[in-house]
Amino acid sequence: MVVLGSTGSIGVQTLEICEAAGISVEAISCAKNVESLNAQIAKFRPKFVCIGDEKLVSQVAGIERARIFAGASGILEMLEACESDTVVNALVGFAGLMPSIKTQRLGKKLALANKESLVAGGKFLDTRAINPIDSEHFGLKFLLSNAKIPVSRLIITASGGAFYDIPLTQLGSLTPQNALKHPNWKMGAKITIDSATMANKLFEVIEAFWLYGTREIDALIERTSQIHALVEFADGSTTAHISRADMRLAIAHAMFSGDVREQITAPVDLCTLRPIEFKPIDTMKFQIFTLKDALLANPDLGVVINAANEAGVNAFLQQRCRFTDIARVVLKCAEKFNSPSVMDADALAAVDASVRAYANELLKFNGEL
């Protein structure tokens, strides 16, 4: 197996499952976390390694230099060198798209945790062949796997993130440290911020469009993260997927294409379930989610929203803008680039670059967007 983004939360859990199942890890990659990468090399003895920052190649230990790849092109070269038939893509951001495309072009199975691959480039992937690593999309796939009645609507749930109970008037003063304290999940920095802005849920809506081929998709707040997805059927019935907030379940099902016969996590004790309540997403507070209908109507808008969001999140994490500026810059970019033309991967990259440049110009005027 190949694990891209091996030092992140999903990557680490994937390697744990590989170890428990006795699966050989042929190749791993990370962006900059050399210390964790070296520990993984010592433990899993991969044949190939890729480090995102070419300046850090000399610090990679425990593997001969000829088997170390570097940079964005290095990941693609490493994939070509690998014999494994399964690739777990747990990279963060737009950088994960080309490895997803390359994986499928090489005829390998894609277990996908990189949301941006579908958000920005879903039209360039064989979405029917993707095994999604996501609690909501795993839940939907599970519920739809034996469905015989026509489906009327897909529903995914959102915890509300770290700031759900914070008044709208106080959001502008909150810090990255505040935002990174997710109430239910242990995740990487970017996805935790995306959870707080609800960008993550907007992305999951368009992912569901690409994966399941319907625009009848909605999201609701469910604060406990006990119910991850629901499916409404044409006969009026609704099914729900319930599990613990443990990503290993979704990872294992993606790795093994749903053929999971051993217990991955403890089952939910139904007698101790916390009270479950569903609420609509407050679009006054979570303004990014106001783009849902426009995005479903024009999925090409995904590359614009993603690029602007990445720029905003990076600026916020570096304390160059306020939390509320993330949504503002995304909305302004979606307004300016409202009809992107993305007929091929080169055009996609060009739009991405243009949006990032505009977003970063806006972010220079901290607090005045």
pLDDT by 10-residue block (mean), the chain, 369 residues: 96 96 96 96 98 96 96 97 97 94 98 95 95 94 89 94 83 80 68 90 97 96 93 96 91 89 86 93 95 96 97 93 94 95 90 96 71
Please provide the DSSP assignment of 30-55 as one string: ESS-HHHHHHHHHHH--SEEEESSGG
Q: How many CA atoms lie within 13 A of 85 on its CB side?
A: 3
The predicted pLDDT at position 259 comes to 84
The predicted pLDDT at position 365 comes to 66
Q: How many CA atoms lie within 13 A of 281 on its CB side?
A: 26
- Is residue 192 classed exposed, middle or buried when 0-12, 13-18 and 19+ CB atoms within 10 A define those classes? buried
Q: pTM of whole model > 0.85?
A: yes
The predicted pLDDT at position 263 comes to 84
The first and second tokens of residue 73, run together, are 């092109």
The predicted pLDDT at position 280 comes to 96
The predicted pLDDT at position 180 comes to 74
The predicted pLDDT at position 61 comes to 96
The predicted pLDDT at position 186 comes to 63
The predicted pLDDT at position 257 comes to 86
The predicted pLDDT at position 298 comes to 95
The predicted pLDDT at position 202 comes to 97
Rg of the chain in Å (alpha carbons): 20
The predicted pLDDT at position 309 comes to 96
The predicted pLDDT at position 119 comes to 96
Q: Are 50 and 75 in contact (CB under 8 A)?
A: yes
Phi, psi (5° rounding) for residue 327?
-65, -40
The first and second tokens of residue 117, run together, are 């691959």
The predicted pLDDT at position 326 comes to 95
Helices (H), the chain: 9-21, 34-44, 71-81, 97-105, 115-121, 135-144, 176-179, 189-197, 199-212, 248-255, 292-297, 302-317, 323-336, 345-363
